[in-house]
Amino acid sequence: MTTGYFSHPRCQQHDMGASHPESPKRLAAIENQLRDTGLWQDLTHCTPQHAVFDDLKTAHSPSCINLIHRTAPKTGSAFLDGDTSMNPFSLDAALLAAGAGLEATDAVLRGNLNNAFCAVRPPGHHAEHDLPMGFCLFNNVAIAALHAMQQEGIERVAILDFDVHHGNGTVDIFADDPRVLVCSSYQHPHYPMRHHDTMAAHLVHCPLPAGAGGMEFRQALEQKWLRALQWHKPQMIFISAGFDAHRQDPLADLNLVEDDYVWATQLIMDQANRHAQGRIVSLLEGGYNLQALGRSAHAHIQTLMNH
C-alpha cells in the first residue's frame, strides 16, 4: 500500500491565457519537483476517467452543470466570470479533475492505497452549488466527499482547507449538511468574501490577517481544527490543498513556508489515524508561484507517503 497520485495530462490543456495565474505550468511544476527529488517513482500513478452528470449533481444544481456545458466553447474562449474562462479543453479537464477525486476516494476506501493526492486543475473549492467562480468549475472536493458518503460505513467526513482563499463553495454546498465538517483557514479580509459568515457547528472558519505566518496558522489549526475533528470523528478526511498561503505567492499576503505544510499534513494524518483508519484524499487547489508550489506540494506529498 502506498500513496496514489491521480492526474491526467489533459488537465494541462485547460488554459485561461498566458497571463492568468491559474496556469497549466502549475501541474508541470509539481511533477518536475517530484521527478527531480526522486519521489515520483515511489508514488502509485493513476489516470482518472471523467465524472458524469450524476456525480456532479450530488454537489451542483442541474442549472449550474448545464451552464458550464453551454459555456464551453468549440473555439476561442468564453467567460464564466471576470476571472474564470473556458477554452475548448476546459470542460474535459474539469470532468477529469472531478473524476480524479472520485477514483481516489474509491481506491482509498477499498484499501488499495493508504491515501492519495490529486494533481488536477481546474481547482474546485470556490465553486458553489449554483455558481462556478474563482478559477473553479466543479467543486472537486465536495463531489468526492459526497461520493464517499454513498459508500457503506461512511456516515461522517471532514473537508480541511488550508488554501489562502476561503472555501466559500464548499461551505455553501455543505451549509445544511452536518455530516460534513468543513474547516477553512484563510486570509481575511480577502477574496472571495462569500460565506465566511455562514455559521453552524460543523463549519469552522479560521480567518488570518494579512502578514500572518506559521505561528498564527498553527495556533488556529490547533485551537479550532483539532477540537472540531475530535468532536466530529470523521470516517474519512479530504484536504483542499491550496499552497497560495506561501510567503512567495503573488495573490495573497500570508507567510507560510514548506515546513508549515508538513506540520499541517502531519496534524491531519494524526487525526485520520485516530478516527478514519488513516483514509485521506487530498486535492490541489491554489498556489501560483511555480517554485513555491512545486516545493510545497512536494513537502505535502512526501509527508503523506510517511504513513
Q: Extract the C-alpha cell encoding 47.
A: 489516470
Half-sphere exposure of 293 (CA within 13 A, CB side): 28
Residues 244 and 201: their CA atoms lie apart, in Å, by 27
Are 159 and 168 within 8 A, CB to CB? no
SS3 240: strand
SS3 27: helix
Are 284 and 297 within 8 A, CB to CB? yes
Q: 157 pairs with which residues across the strands?
A: 180
Place of cell 479537464: 93
Are 275 and 234 within 8 A, CB to CB? yes
234: left (phi over 0), alpha (psi -120 to 50) or beta: beta
- Let me know if 126 is a catalytic residue: yes
Residues in the chain: 307
Closest Cα partner for 77 from 64, 65, 90?
90
**Torsion over CA: 7, 39, 235, 220 (sign):** negative
Q: How far is CA 161 from CA 12, 119, 286, in A?
A: 23, 16, 11
Place of cell 495565474: 21
Residues 162 and 218: their CA atoms lie apart, in Å, by 11
Residue of 126, 195, 196, 246 marked catalytic? 126
How do strand 180-187 and strand 78-81 relate by DSSP bridges? unpaired
Would you name the residues annotated as active-site residues? 126
